[in-house]
Each structure stands twice: as C-alpha cells, then as structure tokens.
Amino acid sequence: MSINQPHGGELVNLLPASDEEQAKRQAIANQLPDWNLTPRQICDLELLLNGAFSPLRGFMSKADYHSVLKDMRLEHGDLWPMPITLDVDKATMEAAVKAGQLALRDEEGVVLAILNVADAWQPDKQAEAQAVFATTDEKHPAVSYLFNQAGDFYLGGEILGLQLPTHYDYQQHRHTPAEIRKKFNKLGWGRVVAFQTRNPMHRAHQELTFRAAQRAEANLLIQPVVGMTKPGDIDHFTRVRCYEQLLERFPERTTTLSLLPLAMRMGGPREALWHAIIRKNYGCSHFIVGRDHAGPGEDSQGQPFYGPYEAQELLQKHQEELGIEMVEFEMMVFSQDKAQYIPMSEVQENEKTLMISGTELRRRLREGLDIPEWFSYPEVVEELRKSYPPRNRQGFTVFFTGLSGSGKSTIANALRIKLMEMINRPVTLLDGDIVRKNLSSELGFSKDHRNINVLRIGFVASEITKNGGVAICAPIAPYAQTRAEVRDMIEPTGGFLEVHVSTPLEECEKRDRKGLYAKARQGLIKEFTGISDPYEAPENPELDIDTMKYSPDQATQQIVLKLEAMGLIG
C-alpha cells in the first residue's frame, strides 16, 4: 500500500541541493538587511523549509493571506486554513522592500534562509483575528499574540533556505516529513493514524490511540508538538520524557514517536484542519480529532471559544478533498465496574466512572497528593513529579508595583530578610534602582525604555523562579500590559504574587527625598509616572497594600500570610 501523497501533490524542499549552493546563498545573505526571527517564526520557517507546510514555498503573499482569511484557500485553490506570515517592524519592512531580499537569522544570528520579498503590507489585525479565530477576545492566546506581540507589517515571498534550525534535544525523535516517509516505506506502513498532543499522555490517551489504530486498521504515529503550545502548558522536555516512558507500553512494531516543531495557534476548527494537512505531508492516512481539538479554553465571559465538536465537523466536511481520514474521538472515562477506559457515550446508567481533569492533576502535583495508577503509570507520574515538585518546593516571584515613594523598596527589603529567616531557598532582590545601575544602565526613561527595563527584571525573575529560587522585584512598572507580560513569563515556571503598593500620590510626594516629584511638577523631568505620565493601577493584584495603613513589618506579614495561603511557603 502506497504512502499518502503530500498536500498539493509534491513535498516541498526549500533547502539547498549542494554545499556550493548553500555557500552561494550565504554570501548573498551577508550583504542583505536581516531580521532575527522570533521563536514562533523559527517554528514556521522550519516547517516551510522541510515541507511540512507543503504546498507553501514561503511566507504568504498578500493575495494568499486574504484568500486564506476569507475562504480557507490559497489563491490558486488549495485548501489552507491558517495564515503563515512574517511579521516585522516598520524599519525592517522598509529595508527589506528596498533591498528586495531579507536574511532571516535565528536567535544566535545564524542565517537560516533568505526571503525574496514579493509583498509588504500592514494587515487589519482585528479582521484577521475575527476571520481566523472567530474572536477578538485577548484571552485567546493567538489573539493576544497578534495584538500585543506581532509586528505591524507583514512580508511575503518565496524562501531560499540555507539550513534547518539546530536542535540539541531529542534528536533521535526529530524527523522531517521526508525522513518519516522513508521510515514508513521501510517498515511497509501505508495506513498510519497520527495522534497530536501538547500534554503528557496518560492511560486514557493510550486507550484512545489503541482504539483509533484498531478502528483504522493502521499503525500509530504519536507526534506531540514541541514548538510553541498554550502558555502555561507543561514544558516539552518533561513531556517527551513521559512519552518515552509510555512508549514502552505500546506495541514496538506498530507505533513510533516523532516530535513536531509547530507553533500552535490554539485555533480550534481551523487549527484541526491545519494539523490534518501537516500530518498528510508527513505521510499519514488518518488523523485523530478529539473533543474541542486545539481549543484554548474559555473566553473572558467564561464561555468556550469553540463548540466541543466544531473541529470534527469542519474536518469531516473537507476530509474527502484532503485525502486524509478523520478518526473522531470523544472523552474517555475510567469505568470502575469494568476496570477499563471507555468512551463517555458507552457509560451505562448507574455505572461508576472516574476522571481526573488537567486542573485536578496539576493540583495533585502541586500539593504532592496521590495520583492513582488507573489514571497514569507510575513511571510517567515520576517524571512529572521531577519537573513539578509540590508548591512549597517551587520557586516564586513577589512582584511589587507602585508609584515612586510608595514604599515598595522598604517592604521588599523587609520581605527579603523575613524570607531568608523562614525558608531554605535562595532569595534575590531586584530593586528598581539596583537594576537600573547593573542591568539597564544604558536605558533612559521613555515609555519604551521603561518597558524594556521591567521586562528585563521579569526575565531574570523567571530564571530565578524556574530554578527554585525566590525573586523579589520592586520596579514602578506603571503599565498593565507590561506587567501582564511579566506574569506570563513567570507563572509557567513557579509561583507569582503581584503586590500593589497603593500609597496615594499626595503621600508619595510628601516622602520624596530626591525631589523628583517637584522637578516633574516644574516640567524639568518629562514622562514622570503619576505627574506627566499615567500609572495604570492593577485591577486584580493578589495583594493591595497602602503604607498609610500598614507599617513595613505589618505589610511584610500580610505578604507572608498570602504566600502561605498560596502554598508557596510553610
């Protein structure tokens, strides 16, 4: 039985055919304006270069982009549901258009490809969000990325590849579509069902994939995403160790594991269709789609972004045209009566069933509670516990924000001493003035520079937290969006406690030992927070402390009690 044909009929390969061709492209790239790719763009570029995004040969043109938004098709008619665009700033856009080409570099400055610039435009991001994700709600991670992180201009055009991004991790599990196809051919696998996941796999997933392979009479490709998933997901290093443990429980000759460096958008129905196309390019004949496939959860109103079976319905509509068959699955639950996992629809009246949600699993890990063997194998749980120790052994950040003179530094210093008395974890204070001197001495006080300073503090705090330490941060941090970015950096790595030191402006001015407020009132200091530049007070901080009401000792005690309540100390 032959392997499924790639989408569009040909597996794209944008890499140079010879060392001479690579050297020639490198010489051209050295003369071009360049762009350092973001992590998401590196994922997209890798799957363009290796053919996983066939039939695309580069970042989308303006015509393809608008056609995808409107009809989920490329301009020439091929089905394609997700815009693949290179977003850049204005200066890069102008330089690229002038030169006609742009060198694309990874985070270390290595040139991965050259973009032949065919189109440059400023997109309507509101329209894009509504068309692709059916929402403009920024609680959707891809909408938030689009509005708050993506560049203002898009570049489109064909790619001249130089090399794939370098991966030092799990190289034995990383394969291009051509390599996987070669493996399938060697093994004689014509019918292959693919399983996509961004979470650890437990016994329910094992049963689901067993049943899917049996129903399709196919071999099984477990292909987890290790590029970018939903913020807050378990890191891919931990997940891959879990997959390796679980793989021992699968039939060796009918199952294989391969990692997919995809940047997910969590786009629900469109994302499911996109995932199916990618698996077709890897040679799969079937693709498992479960309940709320690639859904990001609930919106700002507490409602699901997508219906539970919207993804299945959209893929069902297009599977014949695509040439990849969907294997739909509903939620699996453990039947105590039958001592096995069964689909929810097969549960009989009065039958006793058990289930542990992702939220409940994280709670049990956080609190060091038992995770039963009916839910997951002990070796998988052991891997999770290594990376996710109980809450009171994790690192955390206490992030103070408030006006100059509000008392942040005083409380932060008192808290540092108190925590050093109480816990056996390293405690680091990242005070605004100290950071300015040692980490951000070249920065001024414009809005952009203040944001950069706060994000630097957040990055350092995230590294401290990730490695089990305690970071105490005390910048002014006047802007809500920047504080949200810091929270998003840190929360996946450990605990996060935002403390708004809400001392009134009038009191802060009275305490002003440096005379900064007076100079700001006189117009001698521009863009001074609270006077000539706004302070956006946190709407929902974990703690609000007005130093008119609390002494430093009392404020510190409030924070300690909160940390105990959050399970971070004690």
Q: Which of 50, 92, 197, 465 is catalytic?
A: 197
CA 412 to each of CA 133, 152, 418: distance values in angstroms, whole numbers, following the listed order: 42, 38, 10
Angle at 372 between CA 371 and CA 377, to 5 degrees: 90
* CA–CA separation, 196 and 222 (whole Å): 7
The answer to whether 54 and 281 are in contact (CB under 8 A) is yes
- Catalytic-residue membership of 270: no
Count H helices and E strands in the chain, helices first: 20, 20
**Number of other CB atoms surrounding residue 338 within 10 Å:** 14
**Residue 465: which H helix or E strand, with range?**
helix 447-466
* CA–CA separation, 507 and 514 (whole Å): 14
Q: Which of 198, 203, 279, 416 is catalytic?
A: 198
One-letter amino acid for residue 537 of the chain: A
Tell me the DSSP string of 144-184.
HHHHHTS-SEEEEEEEEE--PPP--S-GGGB--HHHHHHHH
The answer to whether 142 and 228 are in contact (CB under 8 A) is no
* CA–CA separation, 15 and 30 (whole Å): 18
The answer to whether 134 and 143 are in contact (CB under 8 A) is no
461 Cβ neighbours under 8 A, 6+ residues apart: 397, 399, 430, 471, 473, 486, 489, 490
The answer to whether 331 and 293 are in contact (CB under 8 A) is no
The pairing of beta strand 101-105 with beta strand 111-116: antiparallel
Name the residue among 214, 215, 221 with its Cα closest to residue 193.
221
Q: Is the peptide bond before 55 cis (omega within 30 degrees of 0)?
A: yes
- Catalytic-residue membership of 513: no
Largest CA distance in the chain: 82
Q: Which of 36, 136, 199, 255 is catalytic?
A: 199
Q: Is 422 left (phi over 0), alpha (psi -120 to 50) or beta?
A: alpha
* CA–CA separation, 478 and 535 (whole Å): 5
Q: What are phi and psi of 501, to 5 degrees?
A: -85, 100
The answer to whether 567 and 427 are in contact (CB under 8 A) is no
Extract the runs of DSSP E, i.e. beta strands, from 381-435.
396-401, 427-431
Q: What are phi and psi of 250, to 5 degrees?
A: -100, 155
* CA–CA separation, 473 and 76 (whole Å): 53
- Catalytic-residue membership of 229: no
Active site residues: 197-199
